[in-house]
Amino acid sequence: MHSILKSDHSRIASLESLAFENRYAKLPAPFFHGVSPTPLMGAHLASFNAELGALFGLTIEDASQPGFVDYFSGARDMPGAEPLAMVYAGHQFGHFVPQLGDGRAMLLGQVRDDLGVLWDMHLKGSGPTRFSRGSDGRAVLRSSIREYLCSEAMFGLGIPTTRALCLIASSESVMREHVEPGAMLVRMAQSHIRFGSLEYFYHRGDHDNLRKLGEYLLDEEFAHLRDEDAPYLALFDEVIRRTATLVAQWQGVGFCHGVMNSDNMSMLGLTLDYGPFAFMDTFEHDYVCNHSDHQGRYSYRRQPEMAHFNLACLATALLPLIHDDKEVAISLVRERLANYWDCFNDAHLGIVRAKLGFLQQENDDLELWDELLLLMEGEVDFTLFFRHLGALSLSSPTHHPLRSEFIDQSRFDLWMYEYHQRLQRERSCDETRHQSMDAVNPQYILRNYMAEAAIRQAEDDGDYSEIDRLLSLLRSPFSEQPDAEQYAKPAPVWAQSIKLSCSS
Ligand code: AMP
Ligand code: MG
């Protein structure tokens, strides 16, 4: 137990009365390391996500009380919480690492929202644990701001994701490539169980605990599959479907995760672990956002294939739960895994049609899409292109405002001609199409330079206002917002110098 470091004893009833139900903590010892957060020096609130807080009865007034930060910076024990670091393994850049685990994060416990849904409350940057492997257990302000903003931006886009309740800044120095301020983030998700959580037990040959984890997942997260004849196969099917859909959604908004290792893949199909992620500005098939990824393993183009690789890792870990006879189990999971590409392609094609404003299905829709992306390659802003495309009128054909950015403009004109024909064939109505396209093609995304500007203000001036500004902007990425024109523009040239790496 940590001593109470602050003299302020103000009570925050709504926070202190959160009823923790520490389900994960009831699992046997090998599943975690019980450990308390290490207090963060000079901790102060940088931003509070009032919209998410409201689900738990927490208000901005609560968050403004001095004691609030104590609970989320390790200075005071959260009543009812049983902090622990979860163990997991994972395939990192294709190589199996038998033990990873929360090296700088802790699960405080589970709390219910106002609808009765249980959420993990997770503190990221909370200090060393048994799984820190000699590192400091801290997160830097820079990457915490990025995760805070991007997880809420994803939520705004309607893409499954972990979320973030608040961001705590500090006066503590953390050493990365250079000295940076440390921070903590309160991450919320229905579950933090990863593909790598199952891999951990499988590869140790600990099938008893693997089964316990499987049972836990069925009880807590997949209760609707309990009565299936083969619940673990059904579970695998569902993880395949959710993962395929998630990656198709990423592709649809030009999002690159950056570190799609199997320890960063959520069993619930959530976007998890925001590190060197990026939304592409200019479209590039082989875009790699992570400068440490020299092979381009996690390029935009390869994300669907990498999800398949991770699902194959999960399939292996599930074998003992699927069937006692390993050969039978292998053939069963193989068969299921083969469905991944259908799931992905279906989800992808649905997104493609929606982005192009098609209500009906034609066989050549994917070809039209692929041709467009070839033309856009390396030249055209992905987000703005589709947003503008939605505003075209069929009655008086106008040029696309980004036409001049295409290298091969005559080929693009031909594409536009075919696109018009395609819309005319389904008697597309301008107004309906504008509305439906605006509902799937965002006006605002979290461009790297936008996060960078918020980071610079926070680091240089202790000014967190841009974080709140972006949080509210990105919550409604599809609707035009007042005084936000500057956020709906292509990235400035200086954005090209931003380098993202695994160091966070
Ligand atoms: P990530 O690349 O953030 O997914 O992290 C991979 C592994 O390294 C996980 O087990 C993390 O908990 C651990 N890790 C990353 N950064 C730190 C750090 N600063 N201190 C301790 N462990 C860390
Ligand atoms: Mg991770």
pLDDT in tens, 388-407: 999 999 987 678 999 999 99
232 contacts 319 by C-beta, under 8 angstroms: no
Termini Cα distance of the chain: 28
- Residue 436 CB less than 6 A away from ligand 1: no
| pLDDT confidence of residue 362 | 98
* Position 166, amino acid: C
Question: Does the Cβ of 264 fall within 6 Å of ligand 1?
Answer: yes
99 pocket-lining for ligand 1 (C-beta < 6 Å):
no
91: Cβ below 6 Å to ligand 1?
A: no
> Residue 398's pLDDT is what?
72
Distance from the alpha carbon of residue 84 to the mean position of ligand 1, in angstroms: 15
The pLDDT value recorded for residue 378 is 95
Token pair for 432: 């309906």
User: What letter represents residue 190's amino acid?
Assistant: Q
Q: How confident is the model at residue 21 (pLDDT cuts 50, 70, 90)?
A: very high
Average pLDDT over residues 451-475: 98
Lowest mean pLDDT among 229-233, 294-298, 347-351, 395-399: 395-399
- DSSP codes of every residue in 303-343: HHHHHHHHHHHHHHHHHHHH-SSHHHHHHHHHHHHTTHHHH
258 Cβ inside 6 Å of ligand 1? no
Beta strands 139-140 and 32-34: pairing type?
A: unpaired
- The per-residue pLDDT for range 189-219, each reduced to its tens digit, is 999 999 999 999 999 999 999 999 999 999 9
Instruction: Take atom 6 of ligand 1 and give the residue whose Cα is closest.
Output: 100
The ligand placed nearest to the CA atom of residue 195 is: 2
Ligand nearest to the CA of 264: 2
**CB 166 within 8 Å of CB 45:** yes
Identity at 27, one-letter amino acid code: L
pLDDT at 399: 85
Out of 135, 143, 502, give the residue to mutate to test ligand 1, the one with the largest number of ligand atoms within 8 Å of its CB. Answer: 135
Question: What residue's CA is closest to ligand 1, atom 13?
Answer: 103
**Is 90 exceeded by the pLDDT of residue 319?**
yes
pLDDT score for 499: 85
CA of 263 to the centre of ligand 2 (A): 6
Count the Cβ atoms, other than its own, within 10 Å of residue 61.
Answer: 11
Average confidence score pLDDT of the chain: 96
Residue 191 alpha carbon to ligand 1 centre in Å: 18
Mean pLDDT of 126-143: 97
pLDDT above 90 covers a percentage of the chain that reads 94
pLDDT band at 504 (very low <50, low <70, confident <90, very high): confident
Look at residue 6 in the predicted model and tell me its pLDDT.
Answer: 47
Sequence ranges of the domains in the chain: 8-192, 196-348, 357-438
Q: What digits encode the pLDDT tens for the residues 251-291?
A: 999 999 999 999 999 999 999 999 999 999 999 999 999 99
Protein residues placing their CB within 5 Å of the ion ligand 2: 264, 273
Confidence (pLDDT) at 106: 98
Centre of ligand 1 from the C-alpha of residue 89, in Å: 12
Look at residue 419 in the predicted model and tell me its pLDDT. Answer: 97
More confident residue, 398 or 91: 91
pLDDT confidence bin for 502, thresholds 50/70/90: confident
Task: Report yes or no on whether pTM surpasses 0.75.
Answer: yes
The CA 273 to ligand 2 mean position distance, Å, reads 5
Among 33, 86, 87, 100, which residue has the most ligand 1 atoms within 8 Å of its CB, making it the best to mutate? 100
User: Which of 133, 142, 172 to mutate to test ligand 1, by most ligand atoms within 8 A of the CB atom?
Assistant: 133
pLDDT at 4 over 80: no
3-state secondary structure of 481: coil
Residue 263 annotated in active site: yes
pLDDT-based confidence at residue 382 (cuts at 50, 70, 90)? very high
